[in-house]
Amino acid sequence: MPVDLPALTIADAAAWSNWLVRSAATSKGVWLTLAKKGNTLPTSLTYAQALDEALCYGWIDGQARGGDKCTYSQRFTPRTAKSLWSRRNVQHVARLEKEGRVTAAGRAAIDAAKADGRWDAAYAGQSTAEPPPEFLAAVAAVPAAQATWDALNRTNRFAIYFRLQALKTQAGREKRIAAFVEMLARGEGLLPQKQKRSASTKKAASKATEPGLSGSREAVRRSARLVKAATASSR
């Protein structure tokens, strides 16, 4: 993703739609100014309005960055060929299609996602995401990994879920699950976490690195075998 995108401030949702009509096919993206709640100057454009228009033209939102007391900025760019879809945006598109708002460019992005499997593989939002059962079973088979998993915050859990959801093959998922179980058994997460782990979690994780105390490595191997058995039975 480009990091030097230009800033764009427009008056409202209609102006954003008009801009996309003119520029969606040629622009690499913009940092779009959005209104904070209750503000209408210099723009009344809200995130929800901006996202709807973007989806209609085959664009997608990205990271946000701070602004002032009235506004903030959100990155919007054309959707790439490998861009993942969220279930939330799949639902938005269904609504927008019923309203007759999706353009040819938006339809092309939707059709491409349906053709290559990204549509059916749309990921859940952080509040509702659930890791696959085979991952949870693999974690449960290793006490040290389970202790770390229990102590992870929602952001860290979602990071693991997102990476598993993005994998296209079962073999790739099995390999990644085994790697995550080993990581958790060491008492580690994917992202920094401010919350302190409990004493029992630290003790369980430390045992995973001490030979002869918990047999954690063998447990991880058993966990990997469980994953393969579980996935084979579900095919």
- pLDDT by residue (tens digit) across 111-131? 999 999 999 988 888 777 788
Question: What pLDDT score was predicted for residue 219?
Answer: 53
Quick one: angle between helices 216-234 and 143-151, nearest 10? 80
Angle at CA of residue 111, ends 109 and 112, nearest 5°: 65
**E strand spans, the chain:** 7-8, 30-35, 59-65, 71-78
Angle at CA of residue 204, ends 199 and 205, nearest 5°: 100
Average pLDDT over residues 175-191: 95
**pLDDT over 70, % of the chain:** 81
What is the rounded CA–CA span in Å between residue 201 and residue 187?
Answer: 8
Contact 17, 102 (CB under 8 A): no
Between 202 and 69, name the one with better pLDDT: 69
Q: Where are the domains of the chain?
A: 7-116, 133-234
Q: Is the pLDDT of residue 145 over 80?
A: yes
Query: What is the chain's alpha carbon radius of gyration, rounded to the nearest angstrom?
Result: 22
Buried residues in 38-47 as b, exposed as e (16+ CB within 10 A): eeeeebebbe
- Predicted confidence (pLDDT) per residue in 16-53, tens digit: 999 999 999 999 999 999 999 999 999 999 999 999 99
pLDDT band at residue 160, thresholds of 50, 70 and 90? Answer: very high
Question: What pLDDT score was predicted for residue 77?
Answer: 98
Question: What pLDDT score was predicted for residue 206?
Answer: 53
Q: Is the pLDDT of residue 231 over 50?
A: no
Instruction: Give pTM, 2 decimals.
Output: 0.65
Contact 148, 188 (CB under 8 A): yes
Q: Is the pLDDT of residue 233 over 60?
A: no
Mean pLDDT for the chain overall? 85
